[in-house]
Amino acid sequence: MSLHNRLEAVFHDVFDDETIVLADTTTASDIEDWDSLAHITLMYGIESQFGIQFTANEFAEFTNVGDLKQSLIDKGCE
């Protein structure tokens, strides 16, 4: 499964919504109920899915899905 699809699967699980379609420009404003609590759950889910760890700053700094994907690529995820 591609990185994009794996990431999308995490979003589906966290938001309990299989209809979510991610784009690089997707932000929290585009997904209902993506608040700070959901964001933390999302970040934990991504760490688990990809076997990586975010730094403290990274928990809050991604402004869109594209930034998030780039960070995963930089951490060696494919």
Partner 1 sequence: MRPGVTMRFENSDLDLFRDASGDRNPLHGDRDYARRTPYGEPVVFGMLGAVACLGRSRAGSFRRLTSIACNFRVPLYAGIEYHVEVATDTQEAYEARVVDGHRVVLDVKAAFEPRTPSADRCAPELGPPVHRREPRRLRMHDLAPGHSVEGEYAPNWPELRALGERTGVDQAGIDLADLGALAMLSYIVGMELPGERALFSTVQLQLDPDRPGSGEELRFDAEPVTVDHRINRVTADVQLHAGPRPVAVGRLVAYVRDDVPPVDVDELRRRLPEAPGLAGTSAFVVGGSRGLGAAIVHALSLSGCDSVFAYERSHDAADNVVRTAPGPGSVIAARGDAADPEWCRGVVEDIVDRRGGLDFLICNACPSFGPLDVHPATIERILRHVSRSLELSAVPISACLEALADRQGAVTVISSSYAAAPPADWPHYVAGKRAIEGFVEVVARQQREVAFVVVRPPKLVTDLTNTPLGRAGALAPELIAAAIAKRLADDRRPEGPVELVDTFE
Contact positions vs partner 1 (CB under 8 A): 27-29, 33, 35-37, 39-40, 54-61
Please list, in sequence order, all residues whose beta carbon lies within 8 angstroms of the beta carbon of residue 78, skipping any fewer than 6 positions away: 3
Minimum distance, C-beta of residue 6 to partner 1, in the bound complex (Å):
22
Packed helices 65-74 and 36-50: angle between N→C axes, nearest 10 degrees: 30
Looking at the Cβ atoms of 24 and 61, the one nearer to partner 1 is 61
- By beta-carbon proximity to partner 1, the closer residue of 4 and 41 is 41
Residues 6+ apart with CB under 8 A from 41: 14
Comparison of 4 and 28: residue with beta carbon closer to partner 1 = 28
